[in-house]
Amino acid sequence: MSRVAWSSSFSPIAGLDIESEMRLNSGLAGAFDLSHGDADTRQPLARVHSLPTLAEAAVRLRGVGKAFGTRQVLSDFELEIERGSFVAMVGRSGCGKSTLLRLIAGLERPSQGSVETLGADLAGRKVGAAGTRIMFQDARLLPWKSVLQNVMLGLPRRDPVSGDSARDRALAVLAEVGLADRAADWPAQLSGGQRQRVALARALVHRPQVLLLDEPLGALDALTRIEMHELIERLWREHGFTALLVTHDVHEAVALGDRIVLIDGGRIALDQPVALERPRVRGAAAFAALEAYVLDRVLHTLPGVAHEPWAADTQEAEIALERVRWAL
Amino acid sequence: MSKSQRQRTQVSGKTDVGHGLLPQLLPWLLPLLILLAWELGARTGKLSSHILPEPLAVVKAAWQLIQSGEMWADVKVSAWRAVTGLLVGGSLGLVLGLATGLFKRVDAVLDSTIQMLRNIPVLATIPLVILWFGIDESAKLFLVALGVFFPIYINTYHGIRSVDRGLIEMARSYGLSGWPLYRHVILPGALPSMLVGLRFGLGLMWVTLIVAETISAQAGIGYMTMNAREFLQTDIVLVGILLYALLGKLADLLAKWLERVLLRWHPAYQTGAAS
């Protein structure tokens, strides 16, 4: 460790500049021109189902484009998410789904277009001030703080509404995710699944209206993942927030989502409502058929081609079931 | 000890030193043998007392120095120089390291200059320092402070620069900015590296102090040993060397203890084992 500290200190570490990073999020937003073209000239690629009215939209993206240098990750992206719904976004790695989530979280600024959450434009707002919280693939717990202190991060000392102390609120949420007895432990003493549950508690303690999940279960084993699905679904039902899950696991998307959005090449390639009963039965034929259909679309997406969503009448279900067998 | 018992001790390794005396005594065996051979060599006259006095003579000399109060007076002077130099050089290194680590503009102005200067060995500046300050206290303090400054500066700077970006991003998305962001995320993240800097600094503190005291001093452990050299009192010279070793070890233990207290959260310290 010490040797590294000596040698690598010769050259400045590229990319990390805390001062300018913090400046970016306080004042830079005004520098962008966020006005966009006539709404009629932009056609959403996929048909939007049960188009929500303006008041209902928790997240609204209009003509959003994002480029990193010369690489265009998203272009002319349109998306509306209904309040209280659970939307799963799937796609191959590098399709732009994580960038999309980071745009909605306010961690990135769009190159074109506007991002609105809860009816307010994100530009000009401070990151973290909105009722939006994000959960990352790695739990990103502060290793030098106990589990409880991690959950209390950024909480006001007293809740302005209920008057409860930050500590009591954090303990209550930790109990909800089943980790009340680990409150005093260090994050390093927890398993991967437990760390993600702490991260979930840390997000929920702020009572977010929109919860963004950036492949939070990607690094967990299959069994823990199923447990986490149940936990996330239960908390989503109880708290009534809008959930936006980014995943590469189609099974996970079908198990959790009301609606599955397939992103390919920075565009929506499929917008599929999920009409299955909750709690979802993983072994059920309809579940498997839908999973196979979406997986098939993921595997065979052609750039720029939008697919009609699948309607579950009997004939098509049979075809889809054949596809399952073929896929297995 | 039966075979199975021995195997168990081997398997359990360092964490299980409480069982049996033999594993505990083993590391002391070689030093004891060397000491014994040294004592024998000195007694039979094979080892001249001008080269190495017998261990017992060293102990006696140390006892006399303690009783006369000379040792305490010299240790006090040396320790005062070491601590003052550490405080001056260390706090300067810390403040400048924080400034260049946190602020791009300060970094652009200062860092490359400091990186250039740090390639000059501290001890090479001694002739210049003597010309500037003469041979009084300020010269020694300057040398010690200079020796301590660089490791603390470099490791503070590096520690801040290498704080996990993901954690900073997470904290910002939870509404932290300004001082709370520094206090909860950046400074604790830089702390392990800063403590490494402190340990390096403590080592260099003693080295520069020894050299400075050996060149010119009217008091202190260095003065004591140089004085004894004039009169061929090898036993007192040895006492001085052992004192430096002891003080150096003490400083290192202190730094290790500080690490264990401040880095309780670190997986490396959770079993109480120091890395």
Verify whether the Cβ–Cβ distance B171 to A19 is below 8 Å: no
Q: Measured between CA atoms, how close is A88 to chain B, in angstroms?
A: 21
Q: A105: alpha, beta or left, given left = phi > 0 and alpha = psi -120 to 50? A: alpha
HEC readout, A233-279: HHHHHHHCCEEEEEECCHHHHHHHCCEEEEEECCEEEEEEECCCCCC
Whole-number pLDDT of residue A18: 46
Verify whether the Cβ–Cβ distance B168 to A21 is below 8 Å: yes
| Mean pLDDT of the region B4-24 | 55
Whole-number pLDDT of residue B51: 81
Phi, psi of A270 (to 5 degrees): -160, 135
Which residues of B, range 135-154, sit inside 8 Å of A by Cβ?
A: 154
Q: Residue A13: closest CA among chain B residues belongs to which residue?
A: B161
Q: Measured between CA atoms, how close is B226 to chain A, in angstroms?
A: 34
**Who among B169, B175, B186 is closest to A129 (CB)?**
B175
Q: Rounded to whole angstroms, how far apart are CA atoms A73 and B250?
A: 57
**What would the pLDDT profile of A262-313 be if each residue is shown by its tens digit?**
998 888 888 999 988 888 888 889 999 999 999 988 887 655 455 566 665 4
Q: Is A280 on the interface with B (CB under 8 A)?
A: no
Q: Give the confidence band of A73 by pLDDT, cuts at 50, 70, 90.
A: confident
**What would the pLDDT profile of B41-64 be if each residue is shown by its tens digit?**
888 888 887 788 888 888 999 999
Which residues of A, range 166-195, sit inside 8 Å of B by Cβ?
A: 186-189
Q: Give the confidence band of B155 by pLDDT, cuts at 50, 70, 90.
A: very high
Containing H/E element for B5?
Answer: helix B3-12
Q: Residue B180: closest CA among chain A residues belongs to which residue?
A: A154
* CA dihedral over A218, A222, A224, A229, signed as positive or negative: positive
Least trusted range by pLDDT, from A53-67, A134-148, A237-251, A252-266: A53-67
Q: How far is CA A100 from CA A91, B89, B273, in A?
A: 12, 49, 44
